[in-house]
Amino acid sequence: MYPNLYYAFKDLFNIELGFLHFVNSFGFFVAIAFLTAAYLLYKELERKEKEGRIGFTTQKVVIGKPASTTELVINFIWGFLFGYKIIGLFIADKSQVADPQAFIFSIQGNLLTGLIAGALFAYTKYAEKKKQALPSPKEEMRKVWPKDRVGDMLMLAALFGFLGAKLFHNFENWDEFVQDPIGSLFSFSGLTFYGGLICAGIAIYYYSRKHKFSFRELCDAIAPALIIAYAIGRIGCQVSGDGDWGIVNAAYVNTPDGKVVKADSATAMASIEKNINYYYRQFRDTSAVQVQKKFVEAPSFLPTWMVAYNFPNNVISEGVKLEGCEGEQYCSQLPMPVFPTAFYETIMGFIIFLILWAIRKRVKIAGMLFAIYLILNGLERFTIEKIRVNNKMHLLGFNPTQAEVISLSLVVIGLVLAFVLWKRKDQNVTATKK
């Protein structure tokens, strides 16, 4: 496992770069996911504009006006935060930044670098505006296309997506939240994708209505971007070991130094029983029989980790002590190998992306591609939940997980949406600015 990029570079390239301790592996892949999604969304919106499927709005802008006090203050604040926290993180004493996330969310920082960076950001805005200044500022109307708003939509989706993902995760894991509400809210681990999707979707809907462009066409444009971002984000889950893993694969057991080896059922059950305190603490399982598990051996042509992995050195320090790991922050492995569900979701996510990308130009009914995305995404997640660790709910006599309920709902919504759009296809083929 690579909790941050320091461990990745050390293991893969035998290079030790201390500052990479501050680059969380999961966060790195999330950033790549957002950038990839933004690029694909921009290209799709651009294509739809050329085809006349989505329109523009006009906006009044003032040309040649010097920087306002508000602009300078805002830029100073952003610069100050960057210098105080980010630059401060790199130059702080090592003991202060053993946990970079705790440092970022604390009041600690470097005041001098904050003031310098704040002044530099403010001056940059001042100089930029001064260079563009005119003797007499003038107003003009400009066309603003949806693709020009991708940056705004990305920031909005990131903010509300993160908040929604945290809220849904904490609702699903209420006992953990009650024990440590502050830690649960500000930790970058523990994110529920569907919570992020729902909250970000609501925010983007209101944004599209405010700026008067077709929400259905936007949904179609964003569908491939959403699923590829999901797939890339799951790479971060797998690489860092952020808790997104499956149930026990009892065809294997761990060795004390972190290796995974085949075992018979008796040996596996004995190993589970030996670690029953862990399973009780996590899932309230009181015996080896209760622990969720399957017995699946990897085919000879596949590496063992594809069906059984113990996530050594995982970023959330989950599990039991890893033998021979001393003096490191991340020294835990799961007591039994589990199914690497994040890896499976990455594969399925890329497959769904290729399907959507291949048919996107052939689907002419606005909103239909998004309906297909909802169906495929829901089916993917509902399937993976069968071997994924998640808390169960009590609902109408059944015990589904939160993700099973939401994913099944997405399939139903997708089917209903596809049916309605098909029935109204004559109205939707040319639907723009609605």
266 contacts 253 by C-beta, under 8 angstroms: no
Both tokens of 187, joined, read 């930790």
Q: Provide the domain limits for residue 211.
A: 28-56+145-239+342-434
Residues 32 and 169 occupy one common structural domain: yes
Residues 82 and 138 occupy one common structural domain: yes
387 contacts 247 by C-beta, under 8 angstroms: yes
The model's pLDDT over 7-53, given as tens digits with 9 standing for 90+, comes to: 888 888 888 877 777 778 888 898 899 899 999 999 999 999 999 99
Of 149, 147, 216, 144, give the one whose Cα is nearest residue 431: 216
What residues of the chain score a pLDDT lower than 70?
A: 93-105, 168-194, 327-328, 393-395, 397, 426-434
In a domain, residue 8? The reply is no
The number of distinct structural domains making up the chain is: 3
Q: Mean of the per-residue pLDDT values for the chain?
A: 85
Q: At what angle do helices 215-240 and 368-384 cross, to 10 degrees?
A: 30
How far apart are alpha carbons 220 and 36 in whole angstroms? 16
Residues 67 and 130 occupy one common structural domain: yes
Both tokens of 69, joined, read 């006090």
Residues 37 and 67 occupy one common structural domain: no
Residues 183 and 252 occupy one common structural domain: no
pLDDT at residue 50, rounded to an integer: 92
Residues 149 and 137 occupy one common structural domain: no
Residues 74 and 89 occupy one common structural domain: yes
334 contacts 319 by C-beta, under 8 angstroms: yes
The model's pLDDT over 370-402, given as tens digits with 9 standing for 90+, comes to: 999 999 999 999 999 999 987 776 667 677 877
In a domain, residue 9? The reply is no
pLDDT at residue 105, rounded to an integer: 63
Residues 260 and 302 occupy one common structural domain: yes
Residues 122 and 262 occupy one common structural domain: no
Residues 355 and 326 occupy one common structural domain: no
Domain boundary at 339, 363, 390, which? 339
166 contacts 191 by C-beta, under 8 angstroms: yes
In a domain, residue 10? The reply is no
pLDDT at residue 433, rounded to an integer: 46
In a domain, residue 15? The reply is no
In a domain, residue 20? The reply is no
Domain boundary at 318, 339, 360, which? 339
In a domain, residue 266? The reply is yes
In a domain, residue 194? The reply is yes
In a domain, residue 281? The reply is yes
How far apart are alpha carbons 37 and 353 in whole angstroms? 11
Residues 136 and 149 occupy one common structural domain: no
pLDDT at residue 175, rounded to an integer: 62
Domain boundary at 142, 164, 187, which? 142
Residues 42 and 80 occupy one common structural domain: no
